[in-house]
A and B are shown apart, each in its own frame.
Chain A
């Protein structure tokens, strides 16, 4: 360890430029974290999911659904069987989303992947298990358990909660809390003032 530190320590005459360079490097890193609102990804808030504006249709349709009152994005879209799995899945899924978005690989109509489907289906069951295990129906209706449980819920409940198709252009006028300009207000004000002075 000491040797490694020694190996990396710059000679005295290089120290100043190396500090400056490292500062630039970390500063740039912090800027990227600030721009991407990295801290918000630790929360469960649905606003986080519209940090990328391509999620606006999903946010808008959820926001007009009955689930708005009881469930956030994470309640359905990340597993809740244990806390490690939750954050592992969230990190994995989130990094995939972030990379697709940064590389402009998102499709015009976004569909859920198989892995995500399983998670969502399990979460439907997590809250609605009462509706799935009705002993009265199970006893009377032939193949009741089979018919209700061998398929995903939205094979029948197709509009819950996002509606059927959500293209990127399907909700042009929806009010979605998209991130605003990253330039803080005080800076904008200042720029405006100096602009006026120059005129």
Chain B
């Protein structure tokens, strides 16, 4: 074979052919390289978020740009059409349904107004509307501290981060009205970088620390309940930590049961208010939903809140967590029936049976508590001494704490029916002991009759009985809604317009 040089020298066409072949090969190789490059770039850009926002972005709509499915299903919590037998997503005036509550809470804000809550979407709106928050006229008036906003909005962790926790807890409720405007949402439970679940409220982390546990050790499945436990727990306001600030604190130091928390409160001689009729040092159980759930069989089997209240759903071939947080009774197929192979009606009936069984005794306890309060007032009127009344009032305190613990942990009679039943039974026992002691006092002061049960068949009658100026309260609220609320919204809008969000 001759050297290529000679061949090319003889046939110039051959040189051109080699040139062309090389050209084509390099060209194709270049094409391949750029194709690989393009497709690699795709994998970088295909999953680039629509917006980039800060860790404490309070506006749910901004997070929703990146997660439209979760966001849209979350805003379904605005739906109020579903009502179960006792609860559901509709607003129910509980004082109208059960006027005894007015007497039980005499002297406390809940006697003014108490509704079965609507979905998370209404958190801020309903707090503004309730008579309990009163009718402030500026940022220094009103009955409630800033602390009452704590569970209502992702603006709260933002504020805590911006101005410090103690400063956030300081001042009146009305002082933060223009800051807290977005309803409970994304930033309350999610980390913006990873979308991992995260705890955004300091008091839950502290409560774990005081129990000798580290919340960072919680598994993903536990976090699916713990993010809920940031609010659906029993708490009280600790005013001794920093002067002028009301810190939210969870009474879990001795344990998470009803007796342990009662002991905790008794030991520190804490009371939420003094009862207007009986003068008993009362405790208000808030909503120990998480603590009661822990006592139930579902918690024992490792089922989390989200498993039933936010089950997986499928849409367009995509599986994701349904962020429409609601009663599982409105979505039995995706909650109960994932594990239980029974008909929908049967499963719902199983829930109602438990609720029926328990509400009967709860109502009885309620009636006995009303009687105890009125009888204690009678004893005071007869001239009973503080010393005589003290053990009686403690009995009433403990009994009503148990009643409230069972009543306020919505869903408790399903989450942990035996525990809820047990709590009510011990409540009945305590209130009856107190009433026996009251009879002894009556005997001493020569009263042998029966103290009449008050006429509290309606909310209005009950509120009149305890002497609430409802007209005044309603008028104050109307003025507040007309004057202050629009101002808050305007200020918030101006502030949020300055937030840096990269599109």
A interface residues with partner B (beta carbon < 8 Å)? 3-4, 6-11, 14, 21, 24-25, 28-29, 31-32, 35-36, 52-53, 56, 101-102, 163, 165, 167, 169-173, 178-182
Contacts and interface: CB of A to CB of B under 8 A. Distances in A.
B342 to A, nearest CB: 22
Nearest to A180: B44
Given A28-B33, A102-B36, A167 B317 contact: yes
B318 interface: yes
B84 interface: no
Contacts of A182: 37, 40
B497 interface: no
Given A53-B46, A165-B317, A180-B44, A11 B39 contact: no
A52 B35 CA distance: 12
Interface string B296-318: 00000000000000000000111
Contact of A171 (B25, B26, B35, B318): B318
A173 B43 contact: no
Nearest to A166: B317
A25 B26 contact: yes
Nearest to A12: B5
A11 B1 CA distance: 15
A180 B44 CA distance: 6
Given A7-B4, A28-B30, A35-B40, A172 B317 contact: no
Interface in B382-417: none
B317 A181 contact: no
B214 interface: no
Given A31-B33, A179-B40, A173 B3 contact: no
Given A25-B26, A35-B37, A171-B318, A11 B5 contact: yes
Interface in B265-309: none
Interface in B1-32: 1-5, 22, 25-26, 29-30, 32
Contacts of A173: 67, 195, 320
Interface string B140-184: 000000000000000000000000000000000000000000000
A101 B43 CA distance: 13
A21 B316 CA distance: 52
- 8 tightest A-B contacts by CB? A53-B43, A178-B43, A11-B5, A35-B36, A170-B317, A32-B33, A7-B1, A167-B317
B33 A53 contact: no
Contacts of B35: 102
Contacts of A179: 40, 43
B26 A3 contact: no
Interface string B369-391: 00000000000000000000000
B404 to A, nearest CB: 41
A169 B25 CA distance: 35
Nearest to A175: B194
A182 to B, nearest CB: 6
B47 interface: yes
Nearest to A8: B4
A4 B36 contact: no
A28 B26 contact: yes
A7 B43 CA distance: 46
B40 A101 contact: no
B317 A169 contact: yes
A36 B40 CA distance: 9
Contacts of A178: 43-44, 47
Contacts of B44: 178, 180-181
B41 interface: yes
B367 interface: no
A32 B32 contact: yes
Interface in B35-72: 35-37, 39-44, 46-47, 67
Contact of B47 (A8, A25, A101, A172): A172
Nearest to B66: A173
B3 A9 contact: yes
A25 B30 CA distance: 10
A181 B30 contact: no
B317 A32 contact: no
A24 B27 CA distance: 12
Interface string B93-116: 000000000000000000000000
